Structures are given as structure tokens and as C-alpha cells.
Amino acid sequence: MTGETDLDTLLTSMRPELDPVTYVWASVDGLASAAALIDAVATVREAEGLTLVLPIDAAGRHGLEFEFPSARISLTVHSSLEAVGLTAAFARALADVGISANVVAGFHHDHLFVPQDRAAEAMTALRRLASER
């Protein structure tokens, strides 16, 4: 199934869902933290190490130092990896209310990681964006 590319369709049907889990970000190096990979929902390899995004309880179990307790908001619309403007639109809506967002695009959906204590506000801003289209 091909993902949606039309920006208006994406925005009006994005239906954000808030995951109740608190996620954190950790940077690891070497095989000592390889077991934590199984709990990661996203990884990014950088020159400085491997970034893991994982549930806070998993980070604790693996003894990882972490930052940025965050909420994951998934946009349930199946967006194409080639869609233009979706990230810019929701980033602007969140920036307008002073909320940072770290975005991970999966094959089917976009996932926004926002500060845990601002999750409800982020959901309101995203729903407003969808309804205003």
C-alpha cells in the first residue's frame, strides 16, 4: 500500500494518538549496551555513538544515562516517505505554542517525541491543525 502524499489529506486525516509510555534518549557506545537495542523504538547511528529512544523503565533496567523524558505522538495516517510539507506543518503548529518536537518517520507513520509535561498541549495543537484544514 502506497502512503498518502497530498498535504491537505494528510493533515485532515492525521489523527494523532498519544502513547502512555514515557520515552527517553540515550547515547551508547560498544556492545555493553547491545541488550538495550531490543527495547529501542528508534535508533540513530552517529559518529559519537548510537542514539537509542526507549521506554524510561527499559533505560533504567539497562543502567543507561538518559535525557529528554518525552511522550510519543503517532500520526496514524499512512504518510508517504516522499510526502512534502507534513513535517513542516506540524512542526510549525507545535512551535507556535512553544513545544519542541523530535520526529522519527517510520515506513507507515510519523512519530513525534515531545516533552512529557507538554503532551496534552501538543495533542491540542495537532488536533487544531487538523481541524483548521
- Indicate the number of domains in the chain: 1
The verdict on residue 84 lying in a domain is yes
The verdict on residue 89 lying in a domain is yes
- State how far the Cα of 79 lies from the Cα of 7, in Å rounded to an integer: 9
pTM comes to: 0.90
Q: What is the mean pLDDT of residues 111-121?
A: 98
The C-alpha cell 529512544 sits at 53
Q: What is the mean pLDDT of residues 82-104?
A: 94
Summarize pLDDT for 49-70 with one digit per residue, the tens.
899 999 999 999 999 999 999 9
Q: What is the mean pLDDT of residues 123-131?
A: 95
Summarize pLDDT for 4-51 with one digit per residue, the tens.
887 788 888 899 999 999 999 999 886 657 788 999 999 998 888 899
Q: Which among 69, 33, 63, 74 has a CA at the least distance from the CA of 51?
A: 33
Q: What's the domain range around 57?
A: 7-132
The verdict on residue 2 lying in a domain is no
The verdict on residue 26 lying in a domain is yes
Assigned C-alpha cell, 47: 559518529
Which CATH number characterizes residue 45's domain? 3.30.2130.10
